[in-house]
Structure formats: structure tokens, C-alpha cells
Structure 1
Amino acid sequence: MTDRVVPPAARQRRRPTKQGVVLSEERIVETALRLIEEHGADALSVRRLGRALGADPSSLYRYFRHTDDLMLAIADELIGRTLRTWRPSGDWVADLRDLGLRMHAGALAHPRAAMLSAHRVTGRAHEIQAVESVLGVLREAGFPDPEAVGIYHAFVDQALAFGALDSAGTALPRAAREAEADVWRSIYGRLPAETHPHIAATVPHLVVSMRSSSYPAALDLLLTAARTRLDHIRAGSGGRRPHWTGSGSRGGRTP
């Protein structure tokens, strides 16, 4: 797509395409998601999308100005799918753990799209809803605003980073995944205790643990740290505020 701008009023197509499909933003995003999982980033071209939709490629400009506009819509759709069935219960730790696991599962359900979109900030409806919801959970739990923002940022970045990392592994061919997992047994498992005592002592655990994602454990560590911080705040001994956000951050996209 190019940077052609079409007035919003002209974006809705009323007539069916050659295949009898009435175009909509939702249908284009759904088709683009499917094509990305099949073909990767190369799927985001008006020619390929038009062919898949049975539509003239130029008709896509009624909905998206260019491919990056479509990519942001895809990222926002992934957020929306995560939020669709998430309902806060009032237990902030349980609610954020549930949301984090849903974010991670959503990334693994669309691994190629997750890798392409994890670093994006959409500014669209689902992302705005997610920011509002997570900040609401934290503020209602009792975190002061600076703390709530810092924990939100760490929570979201952690989930997105693990989602992209684990999605990259999922996108590998099965034989490659198995070969990499076997390295912990075939290479690390044979290192002698005389030269690598710590690896040799823990290799049975490494062989088991390194085959799966550490995200649930990392999420629990983050939430435990946040809960400890809140306990200090409630006790009136806030002390030195932790440095939740660091330099070089890419901005903290939401689930």
C-alpha cells in the first residue's frame, strides 16, 4: 500500500466483491491475520490481500491508508481478542496474572503476527481499553499513580516480550525446535563437573525446564515484587521507589 488518503466517508464498500464478499475493516484484518500466519510479513500487500478477498486491490484504500495502518489494526485486533473474555474479579494479583497468561496465549495463537506487532503502539480502541483497564486494576488496588504506571509498563512489556520470544520459537519448523531442545541433553548434559560444576549439578532440571516457556514463572516474580511494594506502601514505609521504567524503552504497547 502507498500513503494514499481516502476520506472516511468513502471507505465503506456497499457492493459485494467478485467472490460475493462485502468488504469491511474487520474482514480485511481477519484475512490479513490468516495470510500473515501462512506467509509472514510478505502477506501485507494490496495485491495479495485483494486476491484473497476477491476484491480490486485499490478498494482496500477505503479502509486503510497504507500497510502500516493495516498493521496497527492487526495489532489492535490481537489486543481485542485478549480482552474479549477477560473479566476482572477484584483480586488484582489474580486478575493481572490471568490477563498476562491470556496475552501470552494470544501471541502463541498468532505467532507471526505477534512477532510483527509486539513493539507497536496502536492508539486504537482496544489498546485504549486495555490501558484504562490495567491502570484501573492497579489504582483500585492502592498503587499511587507513578507506581501504577511503572508496574503497568513492566507488566505489559514483559508479556509482549515473552509473547514475541516464544512465538519466534513456535514459528520454527518442528524438527528445528526439537533439535534445539535436545541441545540441553546432548551438549549441556555431557559437560563434566570438573569444568562446569553448576551446569552438571542442575542439568536434569535444565533439560526439563528449558523445553517450555518461563513466562508464568517470570510473571509470578513480577507480581510478587509488586505485591511486596504495595504492602510497604500500605504500611506507610514506602522507602526508595523502585526504578520500574528504564532508559531505552520502546514505549510499552498494551496487551
Structure 2
Amino acid sequence: MSERVVPPAARRRRRPTKQGVVLSEELIVETALRLIEEHGADALSVRRLGRALGADPSSLYRYFRHTDDLMLAIADELIGRTMRTWRPTGDWVADLRDLGLRMHAGALAHPRAAVLSSYRVTGRAYEIQAVETILGVLRGAGFPDAEAVRVYHAFVDQALAFGALDGASAAMPRPAQEAEDDVWRATYARLPADTHPHIAATARHLVADMRRTSYPAALDLLLSAARARLVAD
């Protein structure tokens, strides 16, 4: 897509596409998400999107100025899917743990899109809602403003980083995933104690643990450290 701007009032398409649907930002984002999961980053082309929507590719400019604008909308939609399902309870540790796990699950539901969007700052509605909500949870727990921002920053970056890491792993072909899992059994579990005593001593735990994500454990460590800092202050 190129840098063309259509005034918001003129964006809505009044006639159905060739497939009998009326274009909207929501439909375009949903279709783009599906194509990314099927074809990767190359799916974000105006030609491929137009073909999938049964629409003239130029009609997409009524909603998005270029593909990066669409990518930001996709990133914001992934945030929105988490925020729409999360409900706070008033227990700040439990609430942030639940939110973090939902963010991670959302990334695994759309692994390729999560990898592409994990480092983006959208400035859009759902991201703004998430920033406001998380800071509100932390300030409500009693964190001073500067500390609330530090914990917020660490919490969000951790969730996004694990989402991208585990998303990239989930997007690998199944044979490649299984081959990497086998390395722990075929290589690490067989290293001799006389040359690698620490690996040999923990081999059975490595084989069991390294095949799954460490995000819940990392999240618990982060929240425990944050709670300890709050109590200490």
C-alpha cells in the first residue's frame, strides 16, 4: 500500500464485494490475520488481501493508508482480544497474572502475527486501554508512579517477548519442533557426568521442562519481585 489518505467519512464501502460482503476495518483485519497465519508476513500485500476479500485492492485504501497502518491495526486487535476477555478481581497480583497469561495465550493463538507485532507501539484504542488499565492496577496496589511505570514496562515487555519467542516456536513446522525437542533427549540427557556434571545431574528435569514455555514461571518471578519491592517500600 502507498501513502494515500481517504477521509474517515468516505471510508465506508456502500456496495458489497464480489463475495457479497461489505468491507470494514474489522473484516480486513480479520482476513489479514488469517492470511498471516497461513502465509506469513508476505500475506500483507494489497493484492493478496483484495483477492481474499473479493474486492478491488484499491478499495482497501479507504480503511488503511498502507500495510504498516494495517499491521498496527492487527497488533491493536490482538491486544483488544485480550482486554475484552479479562476481568479484574481487585487482587493486583492475581489480576496481572491472569492478564499476562491471557496475553501469552493470545499470542499463541496467532503466533505469526504475534511475532510481527510484538515490538510495535500502536497508539490505538486497545493499546491505550491496556496501558491505562495496567497502570491503574499498579497504582491502585500502592506503587509510586515511577515504580508503577517500571513494573508496567517489565510486565508488558516480558509478555510480548515470550509471546514472540513461543509464537515463533509454535509457527515452526511440526517436524522441526519435534526435532528440537529430541535434542534434549538425544544430546543433553546423554552427556556424561564426568565432563558435564550439572547437566547430567539435572538431565531428567531438563528433558521434562525445556519442552514447554517458561512464561508462567517467569511471570510468577516478576510478580513476586514486584510484590517484595512494594512491601519493602
Give 5+ residue unaligned stretches, structure 2.
none
Q: Could you tell which deviates more after superposition, 67-76 or 167-176?
A: 167-176
2:60 alignment partner AA: L
How many Å apart are 1:3 and its aligned residue? 1.2
- Higher RCO, 1 or 2 (CA under 8 Å, sep at least 6)? 1
For each residue in 1:40-68, what CA deviation from the matched residue of structure 2 results, as whole angstroms up to 9, or x when unmatched?
01111111000110100000000000000
Distance across 2 between alignment mates of 1:3 and 1:169: 34
Are 2:142 and 1:142 equivalent residues in the alignment? yes
Q: One-letter code of the match for 1:97?
A: R
Per the normalisation by structure 1, the TM-score is 0.91
| Larger deviation, residues 14-23 vs 138-147 | 14-23
Alignment TM-score, normalising by the size of structure 2: 0.99
Offset, 1:4: 1.4
- Match of 1:217, as an amino acid? A
Q: Does 1:42 align with 2:42?
A: yes
Please give the residue correspondences for 1:7-156 in structure 2 after superposition, counting only pairs within 5 Å.
Answer: 7-156=7-156
Q: Deviations over 1:72-112 (max 9, x none)?
A: 00000000000111011000000000000000000000000
Query: Which digits, 9 at most, give the CA deviation of each residue in 1:101-126, with x for residues without a partner?
Result: 00000000000000000000000000
The 2-side partners of 1:72 and 1:184 are apart by 37
Report 1:210-225 matches (<5 A): 210-225=210-225
**Which residue matches 2:184?**
184
Residue type matched to 2:128 in 1?
Answer: I
Unaligned runs of 5+ in 1: 234-255
Structure 1: which amino acid aligns with 2:13? R
Q: What is the aligned residue count?
A: 233
Give the drift of 1:7: 1.6
Higher helix share: 2
The CA deviation at 1:8 is: 1.5
Quote how far apart the aligned CAs of 1:10 are.
1.4
State the match for 1:166 in structure 2: 166
What is the letter of the counterpart of residue 201 of structure 2? A
Q: In 2, distance between residues paired with 1:84 and 1:7?
A: 28
Letter in 2 for 1:156: V
Q: Superposition RMSD on alpha carbons, in Å?
A: 0.5
